[in-house]
Amino acid sequence: MVLLLYSNGIILCMNERVSRLFEQTRERVLGPRTVNFGKGMELVVVINQDEPSVILQETGTPVLDFRSFAPEGTRLVFSPSDKWGADPRIGSNNPPRLSIGKFKGPQAVLDFLHECGHLHDAASVDLAKTAEDRYAQQYFGKSPNDVSPERLEALSIRHQMIQYAERNAWEYSLSRVRELDERFGLDIIGKMGGEYGVVSYINFFLRNYEQHTKTELEYLGFGLIVPEEVSRIFQVQPAKLSLT
């Protein structure tokens, strides 16, 4: 009952503390979360220490610290909400941050490396965030009857910048996964259903960004459209990875 007197921010903070405590307790009782690749190879994620670690082990012996995929000085943090995230901290004296989200199955490797890709391409992340913030500041809450060329241009820029940043990060991730499979025989791609399964997994997330723009276009009176039409409307390449 007392919680209702506090702001949503404080409630959220308390929920995160509870989630973090739950995960720490779970780790102490059941051990760290792992992704087992067979033949003694597994990825081990530990959070009950000063900073989380993500280590590839072979029969219990560390062979690769996944932090090495991120820019030097990057801080790993546990995400109580299970959401992955990357913050390059552009214009700040603070180090880049990578938030560790839901760690389950071989797809967790792609997710981790995807965030590393964002940190290595901080300029694209900054452009995407700037375009998103600018559109929100100028047009949030504005009438859907305002379909000016300036508004459509701002929406198009937001769409293209986000698409570009996300595509680059996923391409970085897929490239590193192929290297890991070749170097350690992890067969991450095979365990996800082959190249088709991996690309389908990635394109699922890329289509979500298409959906974000699709919703805004429908709000502006463009009628019901499918996500694939978004790129045609803006005359840009669709946000998809191919098998080639």
Parse the chain into domains and list their residue ranges. 32-234
Per-residue pLDDT tens over the stretch 131-169: 999 999 998 888 888 888 888 889 999 999 999 999 999
Q: What does the DSSP 8-state code read for residue 174?
A: H
pLDDT value of residue 242: 45
Mean pLDDT of the region 218-225: 82
Mean pLDDT of the region 54-58: 96
Cα–Cα distance for residue pair 24/30, rounded to 1 Å: 10
Contact 158, 135 (CB under 8 A): yes
pLDDT value of residue 235: 64
CA distances for 176 relative to 66, 86, 125, 169, 224, angstroms: 11, 17, 19, 11, 38
Q: Which residue has the higher pLDDT, 185 or 83?
A: 185
The most confident of 27-31, 153-157, 218-222, by mean pLDDT: 153-157
Lay out the sheet containing 97-100: strands in order across. 75-78, 97-100, 85-87
Contact 212, 220 (CB under 8 A): no
